[in-house]
Amino acid sequence: ADSLSDTLKKLKITAVDRTEDSLEGCLDCLLQALAQNNTETSEKIQASGILQLFASLLTPQSSCKAKVANIVAEVAKNEFMRIPCVDAGLISPLVQLLNSKDQEVLLQTGRALGNICYDSQSSKEQFASTNIAEELVKLFKKQIEHDKREMIFEVLAPLAENDAIKLQLVEAGLVECLLEIVQQKVDSDKEDDITELKTGSDLMVLLLLGDESMQKLFEGGKGSVFQRVLSWIPSNNHQLQLAGALAIANFARNDGNCIHMVDNGIVEKLMDLLDRHVEDGNVTVQHAALSALRNLAIPVINKAKMLSAGVTEAVLKFLKSEMPPVQFKLLGTLRMLIDAQAEAAEQLGKNVKLVERLVEWCEAKDHAGVMGESNRLLSALIRHSKSKDVIKTIVQSGGIKHLVTMATSEHVIMQNEALVALALIAALELGTAEKDLESAKLVQILHRLLADERSAPEIKYNSMVLICALMGSESLHKEVQDLAFLDVVSKLRSHENKSVAQQASLTEQRLTVES
């Protein structure tokens, strides 16, 4: 450790007078120290203030630029060193070195830039204000060797997580390069080509995660990039199918794009893709295609079109999937499709296989996402169909207790969906559901929701609507009488929310008349 502090002192002097031999020696010592204990050595480097000197050693004229870049790459493996590297002004000289012809310099410079911007928002902000995007794309276009291209990819990927840089990369023509790579490598089975195809198509999808860059490439659905990506979906290459479906899911982030794509036959392409993967269980492709369909189903105008194209049948083929990510997207897609579509909701709600699977997934304790979506779909089937048959199917499959539990969710939106569904059950099929509502302790739960100060106004409102609806059942009516509901309800008459106060008066009358 003492030799390390000597090295750092010596470096400060030699970096200024540029005595080449002793400088090389000092840098070698540093690299050795970093290899032995990266964190500790990095802390000492930072404390010594030597990073500021590195900028002058990273110029094209400097004979030790590769070693210095290597040291920067090593220290930037530590999160606490990334901002200091930016503050020491190392980004600009490193970007300039990307024009070097020397392999070693390029390799170490790429590593250094990649590590500095890895996972760090603030360093990416600084990158956005340099011309790194343009330099990297220019450099990329010149490269023929696989290793060099992969190295540039490694710098590009973390940078492309910043939206400003995404746009700069798109404007610098990166997309055209990536499409070119895909074109060249799609039929090759060479290891390197397969890697490059994957890296290139993944990066393409990443660029589409930015709203501006995505819209620029969509070009109203006329864009050559969009058309090219469409052609990936029917390809025989799984990596391209995956990237194509993910790209569509990203293009489908606003209503305009979704409507355009559905009108231009994208749904059929995605359904064909899903069909090819029902049996082989390629989870990533299934998940991506379902994500795209779910997003496409959000605009109201698309729902009926997708339903008549047979999307529900295509999606239901994956009911038997044991993979939570696929289950999650399947549920989300169905829930989007039946929103305000009474006929479709009724058809699905009478599908015993589906309802039984939903009830099973409502108990998926290990997968909160799947559990939440199953509950929400159960409730949606009732709310959108308002059908007695659907309610009977759900009662018979044991779904009532889950809707009651959902009324106690920590998410207000889910509580509300549950209460509205339960009110419809009470209004349409109270006799059928009575026993299950009783054993799920619904009346006690409603009492708790009304008494709790923290319940949102709409929760209080819907709980009172539901209490009134339950009065039609003798046993539930008795439970309401046994718990002092009048006290809680009359307090709510002075609630600041008008609807709550009004509903409290009505509920109070019902309770008084019927007692």
The closest alpha carbon to 389, from 435, 439, 437, 355, belongs to 355
* pLDDT at residue 123, as a whole number: 61
Cβ atoms of 488 and 447 within 8 Å: the answer is yes
**CA separation, residue 29 to residues 16, 32, 71 (Å):** 18, 5, 11
Closest CA to 137 of 105, 93, 181: 181
Give the per-residue pLDDT at 320.
Answer: 92
Residue 207 in contact with residue 174, Cβ under 8 Å?
yes
The full set of domains in the chain, from first to last, is 1-129 (1.25.10.10), 441-514 (no CATH)
Structure-token pair, residue 242 = 């995956």
Q: What is the DSSP string of 105-157?
A: HHHHHHHHHHHHTTT-HHHHHHHHTTTHHHHHHHHHHH--SHHHHHHHHHHHH
**How far apart, in Å, are the Cα atoms of 342 and each of 30, 345, 387, 415?**
71, 5, 9, 22
Please check whether residue 102 is in contact with residue 60, taking contact to mean a CB–CB distance below 8 angstroms: no
- pLDDT number for residue 14: 63
pLDDT along the chain (515 residues), means of 10: 71 62 82 90 87 88 91 92 88 85 85 80 68 81 78 81 85 89 88 89 88 87 86 91 94 94 94 91 92 96 96 95 94 96 96 96 91 96 97 96 95 96 96 95 95 93 95 91 89 93 94 79
pLDDT score at 135: 80
Q: Indicate left, alpha or beta for 200 from its phi (over 0: left) and psi (-120 to 50: alpha).
A: alpha
User: What are the tokens at 45?
Assistant: 């480097």
Q: Give yes or no for a contact between 352 and 397, defined as CB atoms under 8 angstroms apart.
A: yes
pLDDT at 142: 80
What's the pLDDT at 503?
Answer: 96
Dmax over CA atoms of the chain, in Å, equals: 100
The rounded Cα 433 to chain-centroid distance in angstroms is 38
